[in-house]
Amino acid sequence: MKIASTFRAALVAIAALAGLSTSAMADSGFVTLTIYKAGWIIGGSGGSGVLNFRGRTYGLSTGGLDYGLVFGGSKTVLRGRVSNINRPSDVAGVYGAAGAGLAVGAGARAIVLTNQKGAVLELTGTQVGLMANADLSGLAITMR
Q: Is residue 130 assigned to a domain?
A: yes
Boundaries of domain holding 131 = 27-143
Q: Is residue 20 assigned to a domain?
A: no
Which H helix or E strand runs over 5? helix 2-24
Query: Which residue in 33, 37, 36 sits closest to 142, CA to CA?
Result: 33
Q: Are strands 56-85 and 93-114 parallel, antiparallel or unpaired?
A: unpaired
Paired residues of 126 in beta bridges: 77, 108
Q: CATH code at 138?
A: 2.40.128
Q: Is residue 96 assigned to a domain?
A: yes
**How many residues are present in the chain?**
144
Per-residue pLDDT at 14:
55
Q: Are the C-beta atoms of 31 and 91 separated by less than 8 Å? A: yes
Does pTM surpass 0.75? no
55/17 Cα distance (integer angstroms): 28
Angstrom CA distances, 6 to 1, 3, 12, 30, stand at 9, 5, 10, 44
Per-residue pLDDT at 21:
43
pLDDT tens-digit profile, the chain (144 residues): 555 555 454 444 555 444 444 445 789 999 999 999 888 877 888 999 999 999 999 999 998 877 666 778 888 899 999 999 999 999 999 986 654 455 555 666 778 889 999 999 998 888 888 766 654 467 899 999
Q: Is residue 10 assigned to a domain?
A: no
Total number of domains in the chain: 1
